[in-house]
């Protein structure tokens, strides 16, 4: 069968491309092809046993809904957060489509509560402390779906897409694209050849390295994006209580005094758990999530501290650079995540099992290996993280306590930025890209919005 549209990658961008195309033209023949499992088969044994069995492909990072299905499920309701879409479609259009996508998530069961809109006096107080510490507070209303409810919402969306006639092919990684003699896209190669004059590649962070190699093979134009590398911080809920109550997810940006590097907080999970994600089957990196149900919440809050670096020529391998640092951590921990007390981090000491459990805070990532992050992270990143924590301590006293836990390494694999026009078409006619893997978005909401834009643009062709 020749399809009207083939979508590679069933993350939020691919999902909303299919939803919008089918809404505009129900007769469109669409194939959504995905490396991982359908959502009902995305079962992570570690969630129950605490032990990773190295599922191939990883059920945390691949499958319907992408990494979003097992994430904290936060929808950022501001164009200022989660990607670069305003650069392509404008700020007002991005805001309009955020509201549109938000309404779709609500229709599929997302919680109606929005954090950070009725707490102005609390936010103003936090901003004052941030300004004194040279931190920039970015306000962003948040709708929190939660790990377990996000899964249920995407389960409903997958069922609906099937009902309206979208074809799925799971556990079927795409190997290549097909081009005709003129260089125009004609389809893709997976377990067999699938044909279409329109192909959207909407892989997430897990597929960013694959997409980079595809671009290199077919001379798809790209540019070197930023590299985001850092740690995941875990502390007691009491320490983050003021920020959590006011905004749920506090977004703070700091330019460090020593190197003038940008460091930001990212993906805050009140009452959450630190988690491991596996890329390419065996590369362990740290992440975090939080359940919606109060009965499943923990006594801890975790968030990422990410150092953003933009390299210049001749450097052109940001993904490989991030992977190299993550591999160093894996080497020291037996392919697991390293954890270190901040007190030991500051003093250049290795954290031991005995030190780890002498404090108020109990680590939520049970198989994390106590160690020394200075053997993994470059000095510059270590210094940036140290200075950021010192600044944050003025906003949330206690963050820089000796017992605060730092897990490493956290890397965001969206550093390969594919060059496109305003319609997200590459220099290969008929080949479009979107989402995190293409370096355009950095989160659930903007990835979903990107899909809507793609659906509308492709409908008009």
Per-residue model confidence as pLDDT tens digits over 234-287: 999 999 999 999 999 999 999 999 999 999 999 999 999 999 988 876 899 999
What confidence score (pLDDT) does residue 70 get? 72
Q: Which residues contact 94 (CB under 8 A, 6 or more apart)?
A: 79, 85, 86, 446, 449
Question: Which region among 59-63, 171-175, 208-212 has the lowest average model confidence (pLDDT)?
Answer: 59-63
DSSP codes joined into one string, 435-454 = STTTTSB-SHHHHHHHHHHH
Nearest to 403 by CA among 234, 175, 254, 169: 234
Q: What are phi and psi of 257, to 5 degrees?
A: -65, -30
What confidence score (pLDDT) does residue 67 get? 82
Nearest to 167 by CA among 67, 23, 34, 69: 34
Q: Please, are residues 251 and 130 in contact by the beta-carbon 8 Å criterion?
A: no
217/150 Cα distance (integer angstroms):
36
What confidence score (pLDDT) does residue 198 get? 98
Q: What is the pTM of this model?
A: 0.90
The angle that helices 318-333 and 208-218 make with each other, rounded to 10 degrees, is 140
Tell me what the pLDDT averaged over the chain comes to: 93
Residues for the chain: how many in total? 461
- pLDDT > 70? residue 344: yes
Average pLDDT over residues 43-68: 79
Domains in the chain: boundaries: 5-110+145-223+419-459, 120-141+226-412
DSSP codes joined into one string, 39-63 = GGG---THHHHS-----SS-TTTSS
CB half-sphere exposure, 246, CA atoms < 13 A: 21
What confidence score (pLDDT) does residue 68 get? 72
CATH number of 5-110+145-223+419-459: 3.50.50.60
446/92 Cα distance (integer angstroms):
14
Q: Please, are residues 76 and 82 in contact by the beta-carbon 8 Å criterion?
A: yes
- pLDDT > 70? residue 60: yes
**Residue pLDDT, tens place only, 127-157:** 999 999 999 999 999 999 988 888 899 999 9
Question: Which band of pLDDT confidence, cut at 50, 70 and 90, is reported for residue 39?
Answer: very high
What confidence score (pLDDT) does residue 69 get? 67
């Amino acid at each position: 069968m020749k399809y009207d549209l083939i979508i590679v990658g069933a993350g939020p961008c691919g999902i909303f491309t299919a939803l919008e195309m089918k809404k505009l033209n129900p007769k469109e023949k669409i194939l959504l092809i995905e490396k991982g499992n359908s959502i009902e088969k995305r079962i992570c044994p570690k969630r129950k046993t605490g032990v990773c069995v190295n599922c191939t492909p990883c059920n945390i990072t691949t499958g319907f809904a992408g990494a979003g299905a097992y994430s904290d499920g936060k929808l950022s309701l501001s164009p200022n957060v989660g990607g670069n879409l305003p650069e392509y479609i404008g700020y007002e259009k991005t805001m309009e489509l955020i509201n549109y996508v938000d309404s779709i998530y609500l229709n599929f069961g997302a919680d109606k509560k929005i954090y950070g809109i009725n707490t102005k006096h609390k936010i103003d107080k936090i901003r004052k402390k941030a300004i004194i510490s040279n931190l920039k507070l970015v306000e962003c209303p948040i709708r929190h779906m939660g790990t377990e409810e996000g899964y249920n919402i995407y389960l409903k969306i997958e069922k609906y897409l099937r009902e309206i006639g979208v074809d799925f092919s799971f556990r079927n990684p795409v190997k290549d694209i097909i081009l005709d003699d003129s260089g125009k896209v004609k389809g893709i190669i997976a377990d067999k050849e699938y044909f279409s004059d329109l192909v959207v590649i909407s892989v997430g962070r897990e597929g960013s390295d694959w997409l980079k190699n595809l671009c290199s093979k077919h001379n798809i134009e790209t540019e070197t994006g930023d590299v985001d590398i850092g740690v995941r911080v875990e502390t007691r809920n009491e320490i983050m209580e003021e920020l959590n109550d006011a905004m749920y997810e506090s977004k703070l940006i700091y330019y460090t005094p020593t190197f003038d590097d940008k460091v930001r907080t990212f993906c805050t999970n009140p009452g959450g758990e630190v988690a491991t994600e596996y890329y390419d089957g065996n590369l362990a990196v740290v992440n975090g999530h939080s359940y919606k149900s109060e009965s499943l919440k923990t006594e801890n809050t975790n968030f990422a501290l990410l150092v953003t670096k933009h390299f210049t020529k001749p450097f052109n391998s940001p993904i490989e650079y991030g992977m190299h640092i993550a591999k160093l951590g894996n080497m020291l921990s037996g392919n697991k995540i390293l954890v270190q007390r901040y007190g030991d981090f500051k003093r250049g000491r290795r954290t031991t099992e005995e030190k780890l459990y002498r404090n108020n805070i109990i680590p939520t990532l049970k198989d994390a290996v106590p160690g020394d992050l200075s053997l993994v992270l470059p000095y510059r990143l270590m210094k940036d993280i140290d200075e950021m924590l010192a600044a944050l301590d003025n906003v949330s006293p206690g963050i820089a306590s000796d017992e605060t836990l730092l897990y490493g390494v956290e890397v965001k694999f969206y550093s390969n930025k594919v060059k496109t026009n305003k319609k997200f078409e590459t220099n290969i006619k008929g080949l479009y890209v979107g989402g995190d893997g293409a370096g355009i978005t950095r989160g659930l909401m903007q990835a979903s919005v990107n899909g809507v834009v793609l659906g509308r643009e492709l409908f008009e062709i």
